[in-house]
Chains A and B, each alone.
Chain A
Amino acid sequence: MQFSKRNKYIIAALFVLFLISFSFDVLLGPVKIPLNDVLKIVFGSSAPNSTWVTIITEFRIPKAITAVLAGSALSVVGLMMQTFFRNPLADPFVLGVSSGASLGVAFVVLTAGSFGINLYFLGDIVSNLSITIAACIGASIILLLITIVAKKISSNITLLILGLMIGYVISSLENFLKYFSSPESLQGYVIWGMGNLGNVVWNDLYFLIPVVFAGLVFSFLLSKQLNLLLLGEKYARSMGVKTSEIRTMIIIVGGVLGGVITAFCGPIAFIGIAVPHLTKNLLNEFDHKILIPAVALAGGVLTLICDIISQLPGSGQTIPINTVTSLVGAPVVIWIIVKQRKVKHSLAME
């Protein structure tokens, strides 16, 4: 691994930014807690106010950790998808992988009620597990579908439209499910669909942390093959990459990471597309050995910052995280499209 001197500084700066934004995410929130008391609670000395202790340890810290996990996972999946599809616009949200996960969740949450099963009655673990598995399956199926269709599509924009269409089809299927579901389960689903990092409790994290960590490590193990895929599938194959094998792995890792995050946090838009691009531009790097850890770190930072913004510091109100990530991510997509057009024009003189 060769870091240039410049990139070492940038990674170090990102890490510092990570610590700062993590601290701010714990510090800020609708309930004002003085810095002194936050420090006391975090470092376990005498607690001044038991409500504050609960807010910090049971709500804000798990939420910040979830933000990091969600940001890292979605960004790394986005990076892998961009390399694999050779398409700068690929990401779990844009191509409908998150929608696939949503459909899985919808299927479990909404049909459970109509079979007379109350998910809350089954207990957290069973319901969470079934939702998570359904989300992973939904995400993987969409990824598989896109992989098959992407072989026949050369244009980046067309793939984007395909993702959009998949999104429409899925939302109409969801509406169909909603129509036949009980009001209670519908309410649960609608709340889930707004995307919320704050729903995750410590018990969920004991599951989420190892799964995301394993997914990230597994992605890192693919970095050599991903580098070769940058030269295109033919060159990659001629240098020993088994493309069908790596396709399967990306579908599994992408499906699990995308599915798990969507199941726990709801759909989170544009992080997966924005972070890899921002990181690549920041580091001037192509090597996935460096990009994957860097993108994971930057994904954590950006999601933490989005979460801080969503608290609307000082206002006592919060807005859904999805709203903030869209505000940050959508301009990045526009920037990519404009940049690409420019390159095309200058080469082909269309």
Chain B
Amino acid sequence: MNIKINPQNDKHFADGKPTLSASELTVGYKERKKSVNILFERVKFSIYPGDFVCLLGPNGSGKSTLLRIISGIQKPIDGEILIDGKNIAAYDSRELAKKISIVLTEIFDINNASVYSIVSMGRYPHNNWLGILRREDFEIVDNMLKVTDLLQYKDKNFFELSDGIRQKVMIARALAQDTPLILLDEPTAYLDAPSRIEIMHMLRHLAKQFRKSIIVSSHDLDLALQAADKIMLITKEKNIEIDTPEDLVLNGHFETVFNTKEVKFHPQKGIFKKKAEKKITLKIVGSKTEIFWTERALERIGISIRPDKDALGLLQIVKQNNEILWQLNIGTETFTFYSIGELLDYLSRLNFS
């Protein structure tokens, strides 16, 4: 059977109606002397229920501006944004609060508030003027604490928790707000690596579980490539590409957007690296893990690894009685090192001219 898929076709296979769709969207801001700085021109995109999308782009490309536009805080110069099929400008603020929830970068202080009470604030757009929780509100708040793995913290003072947990509380609150669209503006910027990874994967899982559209802006390209279903990439041509991360890598968009003189994206490895100034090359023999870390260390001081015989020397990594030895053969001489540190010390003192 021959299946033909037209890439121009905007149809989404899983769900019919988009949560968010933008058409002919032109965004910019006025500079001082009345000239207008255009960030995007006549862009068009749609986000569907269940999509976990990472918004990526170099600094100053307009990630935050785009999120402000999508959340209705800022108005576009031209074009329209539909949320659940209705123009965003037609919503009043309370209605809009039932459609879009946000999580911000900055982690704020609020004293004397328990995790439970912060998450239950998410129910405010839904309940009465005093914000009294009804039975269904309690159920939703409990459930959101459960899915974000926060039940153990529910009576803790928000003020006393770590930044990572606090940001999870804000996410639970956004979930309790029960909106089809959740926007997160660099929510993991201040967090350590384990919290960053945990939160991104949690968001992906939540998007699937609750059929929500989640858009996260991020600086963390490696993590976005790992976790996102789709990447919303702001290109140098003031356009927005939405595609599967791997497709954006293979079609070269990723490299064009992020490569600079000094730093280059390596499509083979999926990571960014500073361009190596190649001084010498070595051939390396050993087991996988040891080679990986040795190679990283050598690249940092400008030595690259080549499997062929043109290399300057041979580096053998040998395991002996629970010890790892690095044996370097250059010409007729052999040197033995007992750690990568010693090896680096020696190599960086050599004068390769």
Chain A interface residues toward B at CB < 8 A: 1, 221, 223-224, 227-228, 230-232, 234-235, 237-242, 280, 283-287, 289
Contact = CB atoms under 8 A, between A and B. Distances in A.
9 contacts: A224-B124, A228-B124, A230-B110, A235-B104, A239-B122, A239-B124, A239-B177, A241-B93, A287-B117
A238 B102 CA distance: 7
Interface in B112-126: 112-113, 117-118, 121-122, 124-125
B108 interface: yes
A289 B93 CA distance: 22
A302 B294 CA distance: 70
A240 B124 CA distance: 8
Given A240-B93, A284-B112, A285-B112, 8 more contacts: A1-B132, A231-B121, A232-B108, A239-B124, A239-B125, A241-B93, A280-B111, A280-B112
Interface in B58-79: 71, 73
Interface in B94-140: 94, 96-98, 100-102, 104, 106, 108, 110-113, 117-118, 121-122, 124-125, 129-132
A284 B160 CA distance: 13
A3 to B, nearest CB: 13
A286 B108 contact: no
A21 B130 CA distance: 32
B93 A242 contact: yes
A238 B130 contact: no
A238 B108 contact: no
B91 to A, nearest CB: 10
B101 A223 contact: no
A221 B129 CA distance: 8
Contacts of A221: 129
A223 B131 CA distance: 9
Contacts of A224: 124, 129-131
Q: Which of B96, B117, B124 has the most CB of A within 10 A?
A: B124
A230 B93 contact: no
A1 B104 CA distance: 28
A285 B114 CA distance: 9
Contacts of A289: 130-131
Nearest to B125: A240
Contacts of B122: 239
Given A239-B122, A286-B113, A234 B130 contact: no
Nearest to B97: A240
Contacts of B177: 239
Nearest to A223: B130
Nearest to B113: A286
A231 B106 CA distance: 11
Contacts of A1: 132
Contacts of B118: 231
Contact of A286 (B93, B104, B110): B110
A227 B73 CA distance: 21
Given A286-B111, A286-B112, A228 B129 contact: no
What 7 pairs between A and B have smallest CB-CB spacing? A240-B97, A224-B131, A240-B94, A286-B113, A238-B102, A240-B125, A286-B112
Contacts of B110: 230-231, 286
B131 A239 contact: no
A284 to B, nearest CB: 5
